[in-house]
Amino acid sequence: MSIEIKFPQNSVGLVETKFFDINDEIELESGVKFDSITIAYETYGELNETKDNAILLFHALTGDAHAAGYSSAEDKKPGWWDIMVGPGKTFDTNKYFVICSNMLGGCKGTTGPSSINPKTKKPYGVSFPVITIEDVVNVQKKLVDFLGINKLYSVAGGSMGGMQAMQWAISYPEMVSSVIVIASTSRLSAQGIAFNAVGRNAIISDVNWNNGNYYESSNAPDRGLSIARMVGHITYLCEEAMHKKFGRRFQNKDVPDFTFDVDFQVESYLQHQGEIFVDRFDANSYLYITKAVDYFDIQNKYNSLENAFSKTDAKFLVISFSSDWLFPSSQAKEIVNSLMKIQKDVSFCEIDSPCGHDAFLLEHEQQERIIKSFLNDIGGANE
C-alpha cells in the first residue's frame, strides 16, 4: 500500500536533481581549456511544444540547483526560492518551464574544486582553474542547448544571480527575451571586494586549509569558512534589520559575562550561521565563487554599460531594495539609466524594505506582483 506524501499548497512537490555531462572542451576566460564538466540542474513545470516558455533561474553566492520543492519526503525545508517558484506563484510552473542549475565552481553537483579530477583521480582543490561569471554562463548555455531550447522566455536572478542574468543578455542576446535583475550590480564596489577578501583570507589562514588539499583529511578549514560566512551575513542584513532582530540584547541573560565568550544575541546568531554553513558548503568553492563575483565588471570589460547591452533586444526588469547597502539602489539605477540611454525596454522598481540585501529572498509579495506583471507583458508563453 503506497503512502501519499502531502506537500504544501502550490508546491512543485518532490523534485529530482539531474546531471548533464558536457563532452566538449570549454575555453575559460583566463585562456585555460577545461573539460569533463558535469552540471547539476532541476526543472519545474513542462516545456511546451514550441519550446518558448523556458525561464532560467540563477542562484546567489551559496545557492544550488534546488530552487523549489522537496528533494525527499523527509526534507524539512524546500528549495531556496520556493516562495517564488510553483503553481500560481511568481514563476508559475503551470505556465513556464523553470530551470535552475548549480554554477560551475560550486559544490552541489556541478564540477568544482571538490570534484574529482579525472587525470589525477583526486579532488581538484586549488588546481581548479579560476572562473568568471562569463564562464559560468557559457557552461549554462551548454545545458540550455542540451534541453533543446533556442530562446529563453526569461533569465532571472538575485545578487550574483542578477550578474548571470545580465551576462546572458550580453553573451547570448539572440537567446534571451527578457531579463530580471534583482538586488544586483554591474560591478562590485571596492567595499564589496573588501568583504570578500576578508572571507577568503579567513579560509586561507585556517591551519586546516593546507593550500586547498584538505579533502582526504579529517580536518577541514571549518573555522575559516565559518568566519567567512559570518562576515558575509553582516553584509546581507542592514543596521535597521540587525537592530530590530537583536538590538544590544544579551544572550539568555540580563548582564554581561565579562569574558570573551558569546555575550550578545547578534554574536550568537552569527556564530550559528557560520556553524551550520560548514555542513553544506565547500571552503574552496567559496574562494572561487567570491573571486568570480569580484572580477565581474561589465562596464570596464565592454568599455561602457551602453556598449555591453548594445546587442540585446531583451526587455529588462531591474529591482532594488531601499535598505540594501551591499548592492544599493544607486547601482541598480546605473544599469537602468544606461539601458535607457540606448533606448532599451527597461522597467525599474525600488522596494521599500528593512531586510537589507537578503530582501530578495524574503520580500516575495511585492516582487510577485511586479515580476508577474512583467512576465505577462512579454507575451508568447502559453497564451
pLDDT value of position 381: 46
Based on the fold, state whether residues 147 and 276 are members of the same structural domain: no
- Cβ 136 vs Cβ 164: under 8 Å: yes
Q: If you write DSSP's letter for every residue of 50-70 in order, what string do you get? A: TS--EEEEE--TT--S--SSB
Q: What stretches in the chain show pLDDT beneath 70?
A: 1-5, 379-383
- Cβ 184 vs Cβ 240: under 8 Å: no
Based on the fold, state whether residues 207 and 341 are members of the same structural domain: no
Range of the domain at 267: 192-290
Catalytic residue annotation? 159, 324, 357
- Cβ 61 vs Cβ 196: under 8 Å: no
Distances (CA, A) of 203 to 104, 131, 192, 286: 20, 18, 17, 9
- Cβ 221 vs Cβ 246: under 8 Å: no
| Residue 224 to residue 214: CA distance in whole angstroms | 13
pLDDT value of position 226: 98
pLDDT value of position 2: 45
The CATH number that applies at residue 286 is 1.10.1740.110
pLDDT value of position 253: 78
| Residue 150 to residue 53: CA distance in whole angstroms | 11
Any domain includes 346 = yes
| Last residue in a domain, options 267, 290, 313 | 290
| Last residue in a domain, options 248, 266, 290 | 290
Widest pairwise Cα distance in the chain:
68
Based on the fold, state whether residues 107 and 251 are members of the same structural domain: no
Burial of 268 (0-12, 13-18, 19+ CB in 10 A): middle
User: What are the cell numbers at 381?
Assistant: 508563453
Counting the structural domains of the chain, the total is 2
| Residue 278 to residue 203: CA distance in whole angstroms | 11
pLDDT value of position 5: 66
| Residue 198 to residue 201: CA distance in whole angstroms | 5
pLDDT tens, residue by residue, 348-372 = 999 999 999 999 988 889 999 999 9
Any domain includes 161 = yes
pLDDT value of position 243: 87
CA dihedral of 117, 122, 127, 129, whole degrees rounded to 10: 30
Distances (CA, A) of 381 to 51, 153, 158, 179, 371: 9, 7, 23, 15, 15
| Residue 132 to residue 351: CA distance in whole angstroms | 29
